Chains A and B, each alone.
Chain A
Amino acid sequence: MEQSVARPQSELAPGEVLKLAQLAPSILRNIPKSFSSSLLLSLFSASETPEIWTAYENLLLACCRTGDMESAREFLERLVLRFGNDNERVLAFKGLVKEAAADNQGELVQILKEYETILGPTTTNIPVAKRRVALLRSMGKTSEAIEALNDLLDYSPTDAESWAELADIYLSQGLYPQAIYSLEEVLVLTPNAWNIHARLGEVLYMAASSSDTLRQKHLTESVKRFSRSIELCDDYIRGYYGLKLATGKLLKDPPKVSMHAESGDWIPPDTTTTEKLNELATKKLAEIVRRNLAGEPLWQGYKPSEIAAARELLEKDSADLVR
């Protein structure tokens, strides 16, 4: 039980969150309110471990998601008791709980104002700054959110999470070059993150479908990004899926030779290589789908939705072939 509670849980499905949140009351009952750092006193009470605080944060989030505000406040109270009222993370959590409890636009505006007073002109409270961005975004003030994020990244350009969020916002606005730039920044900070490589490949693929002038260049880089993500993580379904799409598109309208190959752009891979890549991706996707559906024990880590999407892509492909 402790294990799943202490794990980061951004990816949890609603059902799992509900299960977690239902654990909350019993955990609140079983763990004492405060801990002492002294050995003498800890003879009489449970000892403190770092996992407990992670678990508290996770449960706090889960309770906010499921609307169990009473438990959420209890967790918050304990965090305040341990880390003090002015701790940066605690301030952010306080705001979060208020946001979750707010039920009209006016209260949200009020919370936003509170964030702004906490932040002031020169403080560097990054958790609260991030909350503010998230709140602005969820209130639909996208341009303000972008502005706030850029402000944050100006004084903290080594924050991969913020760059990723910025890329996401830009992408939602269809600003592909900006999104690509931000994702590249994420990659600079986490050079071996295969999911970010694949994500950048996806964004490049989308950008290629939207513009005609840079189409060739974006598609080439997209293929390369997907290849890199597979190189970093074997059997990565998103990488293969993207590779298949991108190479398929490259095959459909082959690169015109003597395109502007100046200025250090990558030249698109030649047709045989592209074909081979496409073939490889198809084969691998088929293998993953087959093994997953056959219930082989080592192939069960994929999400059902990913498998379904891959299957659909394969079926569409074979339907095209038959025709």
Chain B
Amino acid sequence: MAQLPDQTIHRDPQLFYWILVPITVVMVLTGILRHYASVLLATPSKIIDRPTMKEQRSLIHGQTVRNNHHVLSKKSFEARREVLINAYESGAYLKNGAGKDQAPTNPLTDPGAMDGMMGMMKNNMAMIIPNTLIMSWISAFFSGYVITKLPFPITIKFKSMLQAGVATKEMDPRWMSSISWYFLCIFGLQPVFVFLLGSDNAASQMAQQMGQMGPPPNQPMLGAGPDTNKQFLGEAENIAVIDHYSVLDDVELRLLKGIKG
């Protein structure tokens, strides 16, 4: 295949100053603005009240007793086993006391879940609104310009990505239109934001999109959370079936053997 001659397009050098630089600057500024807006809008992390904490920690307590039962003597373990099973089965540790047969709360009416959803909404809004604005701004003012040439060769597949808005078949894919520069900025400015705002900034959209893909596992978004009462009953069963042994059973014999041997 014959080597194609290098395409040269005579561009007005002013294009660089009036399109490339403004788009970049605007992108950086919106990033910074978004960071501070999300700091302002952030809901303070919720403080757990006592019943909730009691519910969570009692479950953990039961699990630790089950896992480490071997440090206790048989009698102490039996006493704890009885207390724990009774409390678990009667629902004494439950957040809302005796109401243990209640249906799982509807997430749309539960104010706790609503808070989480509001947070998501705010994040989404902070992302969507500026994006739409800038997008329409760019396509209104700068669509159809070829503004720069990448300093490295790339394959033909990139043509549709880099030359969005410029429908010229023969043009080398290295030429970029303003819309593609905008997309490059979206994906490429993360290190700049880290440099300017610190590593835990909220400016980058990429990070937020990542965050949305996997919500934190201990915070079920919609649908019923795990039924705590069922967890308690399961734990009660686990504790009930333990065949108790103690690490102290033959410890003095082990000690004598170990030290001598």
Query: How distant is the Cα of A305 from the Cα of B99 in the complex, in angstroms?
Result: 57
Q: Main SS of the interface on chain A?
A: helix
Count class of interface residues, chain B: 35 or more
Report if A157-B58 is in contact (Cβ < 8 Å); known contacts: A39-B194, A39-B195: yes
Binds A, one of B64-72, B118-126, B133-141, B167-175: B64-72
Count class of interface residues, chain A: 35 or more
Report if A265-B255 is in contact (Cβ < 8 Å); known contacts: A37-B199, A40-B196, A155-B53: no
Specify which of A156, A264, A277 is in contact with B57 (CB 8 Å cutoff): A156
B76 contacts chain A at the CB level, 8 A cutoff: yes
Contact with B along A10-32 (1 / 0, CB 8 A): 00000000000000000000000
A225 near B54: Cβ-Cβ < 8 Å: no
B129 contacts chain A at the CB level, 8 A cutoff: no
A71 contacts chain B at the CB level, 8 A cutoff: no
A227 near B200: Cβ-Cβ < 8 Å: no
Contacts of B73 on A, CB cut-off 8 Å?
221, 265-266
| Residue of A with least CB distance to B247 | A228
Report if A188-B255 is in contact (Cβ < 8 Å); known contacts: A37-B200, A124-B53, A158-B61: no
Contacts of B75 on A, CB cut-off 8 Å?
263-265
Query: How distant is the Cα of A19 from the Cα of B64 in the complex, in angstroms?
Result: 41
B11 contacts chain A at the CB level, 8 A cutoff: no
Specify which of A38, A187, A276 is in contact with B195 (CB 8 Å cutoff): A38
Contact with B along A153-175 (1 / 0, CB 8 A): 01111100000000000000000
Contacts of A224 on B, CB cut-off 8 Å?
248, 251-252
B198 contacts chain A at the CB level, 8 A cutoff: yes
| Residue of A with least CB distance to B260 | A280
B65 near A227: Cβ-Cβ < 8 Å: no
B256 near A277: Cβ-Cβ < 8 Å: yes
CB under 8 Å from chain A, chain B span 209-254: 247-249, 251-254
Q: Most chain-A Cβ atoms within 10 A of its Cβ — which of B49, B249, B252?
A: B252
A9 contacts chain B at the CB level, 8 A cutoff: no
Q: How far is the CB of B258 from chain A (nearest CB, A)?
A: 7
Contacts of B65 on A, CB cut-off 8 Å?
188
Report if A188-B57 is in contact (Cβ < 8 Å); known contacts: A38-B196, A123-B49, A231-B258: no
Q: How far is the CB of B175 from chain A (nearest CB, A)?
A: 33
B149 contacts chain A at the CB level, 8 A cutoff: no
- Besides A37-B197, A228-B251, A266-B73, 10 other A-B contacts (C-beta < 8 A): A39-B196, A122-B51, A124-B49, A155-B57, A157-B57, A181-B76, A187-B71, A188-B71, A223-B252, A224-B248
Q: Which residues of A contact B (CB under 8 A)?
A: 36-40, 122-124, 154-158, 181, 184, 187-189, 191, 197, 221, 223-225, 227-228, 230-231, 263-266, 269, 273, 276-277, 280, 284
> What 8 pairs between A and B have smallest CB-CB spacing?
A37-B198, A264-B74, A155-B54, A224-B248, A191-B68, A157-B61, A227-B251, A38-B198
